[in-house]
């Protein structure tokens, strides 16, 4: 239907939102060439926080009043600039942290229990070589978590349930039932698995060549946060040289990552930033974006709004939250 309420979707990664939002709004795909006139009276942008928000697009929208970020992280969005322009900002909450942690755990099990190698043995008629599989228990395995936010804690809880010894590091002390390492280098040195769950803000290149070398030839890196947290060139070099044992990467410096970049890089498991993109997380994200839009357009009453206390509403941009 055509609605007088206009919503601009900023990124093709959110294309799935077009259909559900079109029930109530006129939805514009902002990444497609459009008649500039269409943007003149559009008051809302929905953005994906892990990609830079197109400033040219924003410049075409003089009536812009609200940016809704459909991801919890919003490192692609200059919230200070929005605040200076008097534009409100909101982002979704608690959508997929548990899913991301499940994904991280799955890649660790695949690696430690040599699951893919096992499947190849059976299908190749080489069952009798099963005793040679590098099949290790999680008892006594050590996981180091970089960044003890919601994802980091969810990974730590699962790793504890699997008898792993858990440590973490972050720039600030936090209440936690797991010990904090003295430094990131120390955490890497004392871990079999290093799980990157930090926010990107102020942390570009945090997992440096030195950190990778501290993790070492029997260490395994899992990144489910942001690609640019890791020095990806140094990572590839360490994997090629055998100075790092392996890596499961769900995020990359550039996304999509070029397939050729990983040709012949050994001991890698690569997924397309899918760790948080379950059907259920999309459903929840879609619901929260819908609520933020309904509040902005005034299409929900205070009574129905009170039913959504657990849902993040708009707040003034510039307030500091997680990125």
Q: Which of 111, 228, 273, 323 is catalytic?
A: 273
Q: Nearer to a copy of itself by C-beta: 88 or 101? A: 101
Determine if residue 69 is left, alpha or beta; phi over 0 gives left, psi from -120 to 50 gives alpha, anything else beta.
beta
Q: Nearer to a copy of itself by C-beta: 64 or 155? A: 155
Specify whether 303 is catalytic.
no
Between CA 117 and CA 135 the distance in angstroms is: 10
Task: Give CA angle at 155 (313, 266), nearest 5°.
Answer: 115
Q: How far is the CB of 237 from a copy of itself (least distance, A)?
A: 20
Q: How far is the CB of 241 from a copy of itself (least distance, A)?
A: 21
Q: Nearer to a copy of itself by C-beta: 112 or 226? A: 112
Q: How far is the CB of 26 from a copy of itself (least distance, A)?
A: 23
Task: Give CA angle at 196 (164, 49), nearest 5°.
Answer: 140
272, 227 Cβ separation under 8 angstroms: no
Q: Nearer to a copy of itself by C-beta: 83 or 162? A: 162
Between CA 260 and CA 165 the distance in angstroms is: 36
Q: Which of 226, 232, 253, 323 is catalytic?
A: 226
- SS3 breakdown of the chain: % helix, strand, coil, rounded to 5? 40, 15, 45
Residue 115's alpha-carbon distances to 119, 134, 276, in angstroms, are: 6, 10, 22
Classify strands 315-316 and 220-223 as parallel, antiparallel or unpaired.
Answer: unpaired
Q: Nearer to a copy of itself by C-beta: 233 or 280? A: 280
Q: Which of 201, 255, 280, 315 is catalytic?
A: 255
List residues near a copy of itself by CB under 8 A.
Answer: 15-16, 96, 98-99, 102-103, 105-107, 109-110, 112-116, 118-119, 121-125, 127-128, 130-131, 133, 135-140, 157-158, 161-163, 255-259, 262, 269-275, 277-281
Specify whether 226 is catalytic.
yes
Walk across the sheet containing 220-223 and list its strands: 165-169, 142-146, 193-196, 220-223, 246-249, 268-270
Q: How far is the CB of 197 from a copy of itself (least distance, A)?
A: 17
Q: Among 290, 302, 278, 284, which Cα is nearest to 90's?
A: 290
Cβ atoms < 10 Å from Cβ of 241: 10
Q: How far is the CB of 271 from a copy of itself (least distance, A)?
A: 4
Specify whether 243 is catalytic.
no
Q: How far is the CB of 166 from a copy of itself (least distance, A)?
A: 13
49, 72 Cβ separation under 8 angstroms: yes
Between CA 102 and CA 222 the distance in angstroms is: 12
Q: In sequence order, what DSSP letters do the residues of 28-63 get, joined into one string?
A: EETTS---GGGGTT--EEEE-TTS---HHHHHT-TT
Q: How far is the CB of 157 from a copy of itself (least distance, A)?
A: 6
Q: Nearer to a copy of itself by C-beta: 6 or 277? A: 277
Q: Nearer to a copy of itself by C-beta: 182 or 272? A: 272
Which residues does the annotation mark as catalytic? 226, 255, 273
């Amino acid at each position: 239907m055509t609605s007088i309420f206009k919503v601009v979707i900023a990124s093709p990664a959110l294309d799935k939102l077009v259909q559900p939002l079109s029930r109530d709004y006129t939805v514009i795909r902002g990444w497609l060439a459009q008649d500039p006139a269409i943007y003149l009276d559009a008051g809302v942008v929905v953005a994906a926080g892990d990609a830079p928000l197109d400033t040219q697009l924003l410049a075409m929208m003089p009536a812009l009043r609200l940016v809704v970020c459909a991801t919890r992280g919003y490192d692609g969005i200059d919230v200070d600039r929005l605040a200076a322009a008097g534009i409100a900002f909101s982002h979704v909450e608690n959508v997929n942290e548990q899913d991301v942690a499940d994904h991280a755990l799955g890649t660790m099990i695949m690696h430690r229990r040599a699951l893919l190698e096992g499947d190849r043995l059976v299908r190749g008629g080489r069952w009798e070589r099963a005793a040679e599989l590098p099949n290790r228990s999680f008892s006594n395995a050590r996981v180091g978590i970089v960044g003890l936010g919601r994802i980091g804690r969810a990974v730590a809880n699962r790793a504890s349930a699997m008898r792993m010894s858990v440590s973490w590091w972050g720039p600030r002390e936090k209440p936690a039932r797991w010990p904090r390492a003295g430094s990131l280098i120390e955490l890497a040195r004392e871990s079999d698995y290093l799980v990157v769950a930090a926010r990107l803000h102020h942390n570009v290149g945090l997992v440096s060549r030195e950190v990778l070398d501290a993790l070492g030839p029997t260490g395994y890196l899992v990144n489910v946060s942001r690609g640019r947290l890791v020095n990806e060139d140094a990572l590839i070099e360490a994997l090629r040289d055998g100075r790092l044992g392996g890596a499961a990467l769900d995020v990359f410096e550039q996304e999509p990552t070029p397939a050729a970049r990983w040709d012949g890089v050994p001991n890698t498991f690569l997924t397309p930033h899918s760790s948080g993109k379950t059907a259920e997380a999309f459903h929840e994200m879609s619901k929260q974006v819908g609520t933020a839009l309904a509040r902005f357009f005034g299409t929900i009453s205070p009574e129905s709004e009170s039913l959504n206390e657990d849902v993040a509403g708009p707040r003034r941009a510039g307030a500091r939250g997680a990125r």
